[in-house]
Amino acid sequence: MLREAPLAIVDLETTGTHPAHDRVTEIAVLEVNGFELTAEWSTLVNPGISVEPGIQALTGISNEMLAAAPRFAALAGELYERLDGRLLIAHNARFDYGFLRREFERAGLKYLSKTLCSVKLSRRLYPEHARHNLDSLIERHGLACLARHRALDDAEALWQFLQLAAREHGEEIVAVAARQIARQPTLPPHLERAAIDAIPEAPGVYLFYGEGGTPLYVGKSVAMRTRVLAHFSDDLRSQKEMQLAREVRRIDWRRTAGELGALLTEARLVKELAPVYNRQLRKPTEPCGFVFDFKRLRLAQAHEIDADALPFLYGLFRSKRAAHGALRSIADEHRLCLQTLGFDTARQGACFRHQIGRCAGVCAGKENIHQHHARLASELVKLRTAAWRHRGPLGIVERDPEGNACEVHVVHQWCYLGTARSDGELAELLEAGPRPRFDYDHYKILTRHLGRKGVRVVELSG
């Protein structure tokens, strides 16, 4: 493989770690033919966005240096010719390959290549060592790297590692290991590779269907193609994953502007389609939470819970079992009496938990009930649910990382009404009929998202 296949040893520097949000700042390619270095090429790339100071310090590549560099689109043609038909070798190849595919995609080119990850190769050839990052390889094998975290120097260090491994193990042993690692994920026989390649490396939801169109699985990701391919990797760890890979016949996908849209869509589709393998989100939820009625703690049931009830609710739980488990944990930590609270079997005198030291003894007259209830209240207030503080519907604005698409997720009384991509769709959502039922999963997703910094929202008139 090493002598027969033309190789491209690649290293990238980037503005961050995610190809959907970040950009390439430097590229190096070493062209290897017959296991001989035939050409080397490198260039800075203007990412079109500012690079954080920490990354500038790590790489030594400043915003001023990048301002004078060409954009990726201007380099795409030449780079594509250098890489075309070559086995791409990189340290953590998924990272570099993912960035290259996304950058080529933005430039209007479809780049596909087999890859060889030198991290995996090092693990296979040198299993006695615990660490296989590039710093460890440089130190362990005495590789020369004058400017660490610069693309050309890192690529040259990787080329030195491949040569050293071939000398120490023999080219045939390294070639066999490389062939095993470089294998593409084994796709189910009923799936075409073109169907996978059509999935964008972008946020969204993907759907697996089985024989006869049976919904098997709904998943979400900010990088759909990579996530879908992971379902068919050769190192599947669970029986469920292997069974799913065998049964899938068709894949559908729906792109969203960002992660929030993917989360909301996934939760909705799982409930609508009831896929076989989505056990967690598919479970019917009967949300419940604790309330005080006439100074007595009780568990409010699903039919009582809506936006108006949330301000009076202490904790929102997926099921009675989850609620009772949370209360028991609080009781154990603060020596509360579940019998006094009405959540344990009533008996004369001291409760069983007091006899084993888990209750301070309010049931046995050893503690003032006001002290007991004060400890309870101080813990329950930490579970207070979020009230709906808006006069009408709220629009949560989400743009894709490239600014090509904008979505407005419409929410009212913590109920997700839908997503609009135009003024017309927004008007239809606001004029729609009865509001959907309060949904536990949507509530959790929305409260987490709105708790983040920098979320853009707009008040909408109903």
DSSP state of 436: P
What distance in Å separates the CA atoms of residue 232 and residue 220, rounded to the nearest whole number?
16
Q: Which two tokens stand for residue 354?
A: 């007091």
The alpha helices in 335-436, defined as continuous H runs, are 338-341, 352-355, 369-380, 423-431
Do 251 and 221 form a contact (C-beta atoms < 8 A)? no
Is residue 113 within 8 Å of 86, Cβ to Cβ? yes
Which is it for the CA torsion 228, 232, 238, 240, positive or negative?
positive
Give the bridge partners for 416, in sequence order.
Answer: 411
In terms of average pLDDT, the best of 241-245, 276-280, 332-336 is 332-336
Helix axes of 93-106 and 72-83: crossing angle, nearest 10 degrees: 120
Contact assessment for residue 389 and residue 397, using Cβ atoms and an 8 Å cutoff: no
Cβ 300 vs Cβ 317: under 8 Å: no
| Strand locations in 45-118 (E) | 87-90, 115-117
Query: Which tens digits make up the pLDDT trace of 100-146?
Result: 999 999 999 989 888 899 999 999 999 999 999 999 999 999 999 99
pLDDT grade for 280, boundaries at 50, 70 and 90: low
Q: CA distances (Å), 82 to each of 29, 104, 235, 296, in order?
A: 8, 13, 31, 74
Tell me, yes or no, if the pTM score tops 0.85.
no
- Structural class in CATH, domain 7-182: alpha beta
Mean pLDDT of 18-45: 94
pLDDT at 312: 86
Return the pLDDT at 294. Answer: 67
Mean pLDDT for 35-49 is 96
Instruction: Tell me the average pLDDT across 86-94.
Output: 91
Per the CB < 8 A criterion, the answer to whether 12 and 96 are in contact is yes
For 37-44, the CB contacts below 8 A with 24+ separation are: 37/159, 39/82, 40/152, 40/155, 40/156, 41/82, 42/151, 42/152, 42/155, 43/69, 43/70, 43/75, 44/69
| Backbone angles phi and psi of 79, in degrees to 5 | -65, -40
Greatest mean pLDDT among 64-78, 238-252, 334-348 lies in 64-78
Average pLDDT in the chain: 89
Query: 166: which DSSP letter?
Result: H
> Which secondary-structure segment (H or E) carries 106?
helix 93-106
The full set of domain ranges for the chain reads 7-182, 193-282, 288-383, 394-459
Rounded distance, CA 375 to CA 373, Å?
5
Inter-residue long-range contacts of 410-413, CB under 8 Å, 24+ positions, other chains counted: 410/460, 411/446, 412/462, 413/306, 413/307, 413/308, 413/388, 413/438
Kind of pairing between the strands at 115-117 and 87-90: parallel
Residues 412-426: what's their mean pLDDT? 91
Cβ atoms within 10 Å, residue 429: 19
| Per-residue pLDDT reduced to its tens digit, 359-411 | 999 998 999 999 999 999 899 899 888 888 888 899 999 988 766 678 999 99
Distance CA 93, CA 70 (A): 24
Q: What pLDDT does 236 receive? A: 46
Mean pLDDT of 69-76: 97
DSSP character for 402? Answer: T
Q: Find how far residue 370's CA is from the centre of its chain.
A: 46
Q: What is the CATH number of domain 193-282?
A: 3.40.1440.10
Residue 258: which of 206, 201, 203 has the closest Cα? 203
> Model confidence at 292, in pLDDT bands (50, 70, 90)?
confident
Closest by Cα among 395, 404, 337, 388 to 367? 337
Instruction: Return d(Cα 139, Cα 304) in angstroms, integer.
Output: 64
Q: What is the distance between the alpha carbons of residues 220 and 262, in angstroms, rounded to a whole number? A: 6
Asked whether this chain's domains 7-182 and 193-282 adopt the same fold, the reply is no
